[in-house]
Structure 1
Amino acid sequence: MDPDIEVVPITGDMIRLGQFLKFANFAESGAAAGELIQGGDVKVDGDVETRRGRQLAKGMLVEVLLPGSVLRAKVG
């Protein structure tokens, strides 16, 4: 496993993308999460995802593209 990829534990089997971005501290609020997603700056398992309500299962990789860096976390 890549040491740069944090595993963010969730309760239950699924979590919505917008919630996960807040949970992983990639977004300060739901509005900020929505802006990242709508801007095409979020990938799920390598594919750009524009649906805030996208259901994520454990093991999925979420990437947020920021100027000069990429944040990565796996749903745990």
Structure 2
Amino acid sequence: MASSSRTQPSIFEDFCQLILGLDESIRFAGIATLTGAVLATKYRTNLVPLLTEEETSSSIKHSVWRMESRRA
């Protein structure tokens, strides 16, 4: 099997791309675990992200925490 210099997108990245395709106003899609670990992220093509990678990760963790606190 020939190796590729480019890795194949994961099923999570494919799903993020599918979400972005639903509406032009969606700028970002991401998937995280209930502990806040980021599995995949995807930005709309030619988009300049408003947050750094670290800020995005922190925002996701905070969102997961808020979601979990509402479940109780």
Q: TM-score range by the shorter chain?
A: under 0.3
Bigger radius of gyration, 1 or 2?
A: 2
The structure whose residues are more often strand, as a share, is 1
TM-score by length of 1: 0.25
Q: Which has the higher contact order (CA 8 A, sep 6+)?
A: 1
TM-score by length of 2: 0.25
The structure whose residues are more often helix, as a share, is 2
